Amino acid sequence: MAVKNSPKEKIKQRVVPVDTLNKYRAKIDSLADQVKVVMDQVREERVMKDAEMQVAKASNMLDYKDEIINRPRRTWFQTTKERKMSKDASGKEYVGVSSKSRK
């Protein structure tokens, strides 16, 4: 196993006894089943949470259908054309400022 602390220093090598490696490998292997169980539980909880959110959303859609339908449509304060013109103007303004600051 090589350990490198920084590019300026030499690489230091450590020798780890094989029996120590085997001991920790066995410990890791023994925990693999428990880790799999926990990961499965987390996945199931996430699926349940998503399902609950969908149920709540559907319930709200049914309960408040009239209110949702009667809401006014969202309107933008600028049309697409106005946004483009504003963007172009600010771009030109930025180019003008940046070229003046370079001189």
What does the pLDDT look like over 3-30, one tens digit per residue?
Answer: 555 666 677 778 889 999 999 999 999 9
Q: Does the pLDDT value for residue 98 go beyond 80? A: no
State what percent of residues in the chain have pLDDT above 90. Answer: 50
> How many angstroms separate the CA atoms of 88 and 29, rounded?
61
97 against 38, higher pLDDT: 38
What is residue 55's predicted lDDT score, i.e. its pLDDT?
Answer: 97
Separation of alpha carbons 79 and 32, rounded Å: 58
Confidence at residue 79, expressed as pLDDT on a 0 to 100 scale:
86
Q: Does residue 99 register a pLDDT over 80? A: no
